[in-house]
Structure 1
Amino acid sequence: MRRDEAERLFEILKEGKISKEEAEVISKRLKENFPDIWEEYVLWKVLSESEKEIKLPWKEALTERKKIRREVLVAFLSLFLTFVFFLFLICPPLLDFPVPKGWLIPRSFLIAFLLAFPLSLFLYER
Protein backbone atom coordinates (compact mmCIF):
# COMPACT_ATOMS: atom_id res chain seq x y z
CA MET A 1 0.00 0.00 0.00
CA ARG A 2 1.31 3.42 -0.97
CA ARG A 3 1.03 6.55 1.13
CA ASP A 4 -1.38 8.37 -1.20
CA GLU A 5 -3.60 5.28 -1.21
CA ALA A 6 -3.50 5.22 2.60
CA GLU A 7 -4.49 8.89 2.74
CA ARG A 8 -7.38 8.22 0.37
CA LEU A 9 -8.53 5.36 2.62
CA PHE A 10 -8.24 7.71 5.60
CA GLU A 11 -10.57 10.17 3.88
CA ILE A 12 -13.01 7.34 3.13
CA LEU A 13 -12.96 6.39 6.81
CA LYS A 14 -13.65 9.99 7.81
CA GLU A 15 -16.66 10.19 5.49
CA GLY A 16 -18.17 7.14 7.17
CA LYS A 17 -19.95 5.89 4.04
CA ILE A 18 -18.65 2.33 4.40
CA SER A 19 -19.76 -0.55 6.59
CA LYS A 20 -18.23 -1.21 9.99
CA GLU A 21 -16.51 -4.37 8.78
CA GLU A 22 -14.83 -2.53 5.91
CA ALA A 23 -13.85 0.28 8.27
CA GLU A 24 -12.23 -2.22 10.65
CA VAL A 25 -10.27 -3.84 7.80
CA ILE A 26 -9.06 -0.47 6.50
CA SER A 27 -8.20 0.66 10.03
CA LYS A 28 -6.20 -2.53 10.63
CA ARG A 29 -4.31 -2.07 7.34
CA LEU A 30 -3.55 1.55 8.22
CA LYS A 31 -2.35 0.53 11.68
CA GLU A 32 0.03 -2.05 10.24
CA ASN A 33 1.41 -0.03 7.34
CA PHE A 34 1.06 3.64 8.31
CA PRO A 35 0.84 4.10 12.09
CA ASP A 36 0.98 7.91 11.80
CA ILE A 37 -2.13 8.01 9.58
CA TRP A 38 -3.84 5.49 11.87
CA GLU A 39 -3.09 7.68 14.92
CA GLU A 40 -4.51 10.68 13.10
CA TYR A 41 -7.65 8.65 12.34
CA VAL A 42 -8.01 7.59 15.99
CA LEU A 43 -7.59 11.18 17.16
CA TRP A 44 -10.12 12.40 14.61
CA LYS A 45 -12.61 9.71 15.68
CA VAL A 46 -12.24 10.54 19.38
CA LEU A 47 -12.62 14.27 18.74
CA SER A 48 -15.65 13.84 16.49
CA GLU A 49 -17.36 11.65 19.09
CA SER A 50 -16.58 14.08 21.90
CA GLU A 51 -18.17 16.92 19.94
CA LYS A 52 -21.52 15.15 19.90
CA GLU A 53 -23.86 16.49 22.50
CA ILE A 54 -24.27 14.19 25.46
CA LYS A 55 -27.92 13.79 26.37
CA LEU A 56 -28.57 13.64 30.07
CA PRO A 57 -32.13 12.62 30.99
CA TRP A 58 -32.02 14.35 34.36
CA LYS A 59 -30.93 17.61 32.72
CA GLU A 60 -33.77 17.40 30.19
CA ALA A 61 -36.21 16.78 33.06
CA LEU A 62 -34.88 19.88 34.84
CA THR A 63 -35.38 22.05 31.78
CA GLU A 64 -38.90 20.63 31.37
CA ARG A 65 -39.69 21.51 34.99
CA LYS A 66 -38.32 25.02 34.52
CA LYS A 67 -40.35 25.43 31.36
CA ILE A 68 -43.56 24.29 33.08
CA ARG A 69 -42.85 26.49 36.09
CA ARG A 70 -42.33 29.52 33.82
CA GLU A 71 -45.54 28.80 31.89
CA VAL A 72 -47.51 28.56 35.14
CA LEU A 73 -45.99 31.82 36.34
CA VAL A 74 -46.85 33.60 33.09
CA ALA A 75 -50.40 32.19 33.15
CA PHE A 76 -50.86 33.35 36.75
CA LEU A 77 -49.43 36.78 35.94
CA SER A 78 -51.73 37.09 32.93
CA LEU A 79 -54.78 36.17 34.96
CA PHE A 80 -53.77 38.53 37.76
CA LEU A 81 -53.23 41.44 35.37
CA THR A 82 -56.55 40.73 33.69
CA PHE A 83 -58.26 40.78 37.09
CA VAL A 84 -56.57 44.06 38.06
CA PHE A 85 -57.49 45.69 34.75
CA PHE A 86 -61.03 44.40 35.17
CA LEU A 87 -61.21 46.11 38.57
CA PHE A 88 -59.79 49.36 37.24
CA LEU A 89 -61.98 49.57 34.15
CA ILE A 90 -65.23 47.81 34.97
CA CYS A 91 -65.52 48.59 38.67
CA PRO A 92 -63.65 51.89 39.16
CA PRO A 93 -65.59 52.90 42.31
CA LEU A 94 -64.10 49.91 44.12
CA LEU A 95 -60.62 51.32 43.71
CA ASP A 96 -61.65 54.99 43.49
CA PHE A 97 -59.78 55.35 40.21
CA PRO A 98 -62.20 56.50 37.52
CA VAL A 99 -60.95 56.62 33.95
CA PRO A 100 -61.55 60.22 32.86
CA LYS A 101 -63.33 60.93 29.63
CA GLY A 102 -61.51 63.01 27.09
CA TRP A 103 -58.21 61.17 27.50
CA LEU A 104 -55.83 61.08 24.59
CA ILE A 105 -56.54 57.36 24.30
CA PRO A 106 -60.16 56.47 23.58
CA ARG A 107 -61.74 54.46 26.37
CA SER A 108 -62.66 51.50 24.15
CA PHE A 109 -59.08 51.26 22.88
CA LEU A 110 -57.77 51.40 26.43
CA ILE A 111 -60.04 48.55 27.49
CA ALA A 112 -59.04 46.49 24.47
CA PHE A 113 -55.36 47.13 25.10
CA LEU A 114 -55.48 46.39 28.80
CA LEU A 115 -57.34 43.14 28.24
CA ALA A 116 -55.17 42.11 25.31
CA PHE A 117 -51.89 42.79 27.08
CA PRO A 118 -52.04 39.90 29.59
CA LEU A 119 -53.38 37.60 26.91
CA SER A 120 -50.54 38.48 24.56
CA LEU A 121 -48.06 38.03 27.40
CA PHE A 122 -49.42 34.54 28.00
CA LEU A 123 -49.43 33.62 24.31
CA TYR A 124 -45.93 35.03 23.77
CA GLU A 125 -44.50 32.52 26.25
CA ARG A 126 -46.22 29.63 24.51
Structure 2
Amino acid sequence: MATRMACDANVEKNRFEDIVCIDQTRVRLGGDSYIHASWVNITANRKAILTQLPLVETGGDFWQMVLDTNAQAILLLLTHAEFNMFHAAGVFPAEQDFVHFADGHIRVGEFKRVVIDRDWTMHVISVK
Protein backbone atom coordinates (compact mmCIF):
# COMPACT_ATOMS: atom_id res chain seq x y z
CA MET A 1 0.00 0.00 0.00
CA ALA A 2 1.38 3.41 -1.00
CA THR A 3 1.84 6.02 1.73
CA ARG A 4 2.35 9.78 1.64
CA MET A 5 3.61 10.64 5.12
CA ALA A 6 6.63 12.70 4.01
CA CYS A 7 4.51 14.67 1.55
CA ASP A 8 1.89 15.45 4.20
CA ALA A 9 4.56 16.40 6.76
CA ASN A 10 6.18 18.88 4.33
CA VAL A 11 3.20 20.69 2.83
CA GLU A 12 5.10 24.00 2.86
CA LYS A 13 7.72 22.49 0.51
CA ASN A 14 5.16 21.35 -2.09
CA ARG A 15 4.25 23.81 -4.84
CA PHE A 16 0.92 22.10 -5.50
CA GLU A 17 -0.82 20.43 -2.57
CA ASP A 18 -3.08 18.31 -4.77
CA ILE A 19 -0.15 16.45 -6.38
CA VAL A 20 1.00 13.71 -4.00
CA CYS A 21 4.55 12.44 -3.61
CA ILE A 22 4.49 8.75 -2.62
CA ASP A 23 6.94 7.64 0.08
CA GLN A 24 7.87 4.42 -1.72
CA THR A 25 9.14 6.16 -4.88
CA ARG A 26 10.23 9.58 -3.66
CA VAL A 27 13.77 10.85 -4.11
CA ARG A 28 15.42 10.94 -0.70
CA LEU A 29 17.88 13.66 0.16
CA GLY A 30 20.47 13.40 2.91
CA GLY A 31 19.50 14.11 6.50
CA ASP A 32 15.97 15.29 7.14
CA SER A 33 15.67 17.16 3.84
CA TYR A 34 12.59 16.59 1.68
CA ILE A 35 11.85 17.40 -1.94
CA HIS A 36 8.68 16.71 -3.90
CA ALA A 37 10.32 14.39 -6.45
CA SER A 38 9.75 10.78 -7.48
CA TRP A 39 11.71 8.11 -9.30
CA VAL A 40 9.97 6.57 -12.32
CA ASN A 41 11.17 3.64 -14.40
CA ILE A 42 11.74 4.46 -18.06
CA THR A 43 13.11 1.03 -18.99
CA ALA A 44 14.43 -1.87 -16.93
CA ASN A 45 17.82 -0.12 -16.66
CA ARG A 46 16.88 3.56 -16.77
CA LYS A 47 15.13 5.82 -14.30
CA ALA A 48 14.07 9.44 -14.39
CA ILE A 49 13.03 11.90 -11.72
CA LEU A 50 9.68 13.70 -11.93
CA THR A 51 9.37 16.79 -9.77
CA GLN A 52 7.45 20.00 -9.39
CA LEU A 53 9.11 23.28 -10.25
CA PRO A 54 10.89 24.08 -6.99
CA LEU A 55 9.83 26.96 -4.81
CA VAL A 56 12.44 29.67 -4.25
CA GLU A 57 12.75 28.31 -0.67
CA THR A 58 13.43 24.76 -1.92
CA GLY A 59 15.80 25.72 -4.74
CA GLY A 60 18.84 24.58 -2.75
CA ASP A 61 17.22 21.17 -2.16
CA PHE A 62 16.44 20.90 -5.87
CA TRP A 63 20.04 21.54 -6.91
CA GLN A 64 21.35 19.26 -4.14
CA MET A 65 19.14 16.51 -5.63
CA VAL A 66 20.64 17.20 -9.08
CA LEU A 67 24.15 16.83 -7.65
CA ASP A 68 23.38 13.80 -5.46
CA THR A 69 21.69 11.85 -8.27
CA ASN A 70 24.20 12.93 -10.92
CA ALA A 71 21.34 14.11 -13.15
CA GLN A 72 22.48 14.67 -16.73
CA ALA A 73 19.49 16.72 -17.91
CA ILE A 74 16.55 18.68 -16.54
CA LEU A 75 13.41 19.17 -18.61
CA LEU A 76 11.04 21.94 -17.51
CA LEU A 77 7.58 21.63 -19.02
CA LEU A 78 6.22 25.13 -18.66
CA THR A 79 5.71 28.27 -20.68
CA HIS A 80 7.76 31.44 -20.32
CA ALA A 81 4.71 33.08 -18.67
CA GLU A 82 4.50 30.22 -16.14
CA PHE A 83 8.25 30.50 -15.51
CA ASN A 84 7.72 34.15 -14.56
CA MET A 85 4.46 33.56 -12.67
CA PHE A 86 6.05 30.87 -10.46
CA HIS A 87 9.19 32.97 -9.79
CA ALA A 88 11.51 30.36 -11.31
CA ALA A 89 14.16 33.03 -11.82
CA GLY A 90 14.92 32.63 -8.10
CA VAL A 91 15.95 29.01 -8.75
CA PHE A 92 17.37 29.09 -12.29
CA PRO A 93 20.10 31.57 -13.26
CA ALA A 94 19.60 34.40 -15.73
CA GLU A 95 21.58 34.39 -18.95
CA GLN A 96 25.33 34.22 -18.31
CA ASP A 97 24.78 34.56 -14.55
CA PHE A 98 25.04 32.50 -11.35
CA VAL A 99 22.68 31.69 -8.48
CA HIS A 100 24.05 30.55 -5.10
CA PHE A 101 22.32 28.24 -2.61
CA ALA A 102 23.02 26.63 0.77
CA ASP A 103 25.21 29.43 2.09
CA GLY A 104 27.25 29.47 -1.10
CA HIS A 105 27.95 25.74 -1.15
CA ILE A 106 25.97 25.21 -4.37
CA ARG A 107 26.58 27.40 -7.43
CA VAL A 108 24.37 27.18 -10.52
CA GLY A 109 25.49 29.01 -13.65
CA GLU A 110 24.10 29.42 -17.13
CA PHE A 111 26.65 29.32 -19.91
CA LYS A 112 24.63 29.12 -23.10
CA ARG A 113 21.09 29.39 -24.49
CA VAL A 114 20.10 27.62 -27.68
CA VAL A 115 16.76 28.41 -29.33
CA ILE A 116 15.56 25.08 -30.71
CA ASP A 117 12.19 26.28 -31.96
CA ARG A 118 9.95 29.29 -31.46
CA ASP A 119 8.62 27.84 -28.20
CA TRP A 120 11.61 25.74 -27.08
CA THR A 121 14.86 26.98 -25.58
CA MET A 122 17.69 24.87 -24.22
CA HIS A 123 19.77 26.30 -21.36
CA VAL A 124 23.23 24.83 -20.80
CA ILE A 125 24.06 25.10 -17.10
CA SER A 126 26.67 23.98 -14.61
CA VAL A 127 26.02 22.92 -11.02
CA LYS A 128 28.86 22.76 -8.50
Larger radius of gyration between Structure 1 and Structure 2: 1
Using structure 1 for the length normalisation, give the TM-score: 0.22
Using structure 2 for the length normalisation, give the TM-score: 0.22
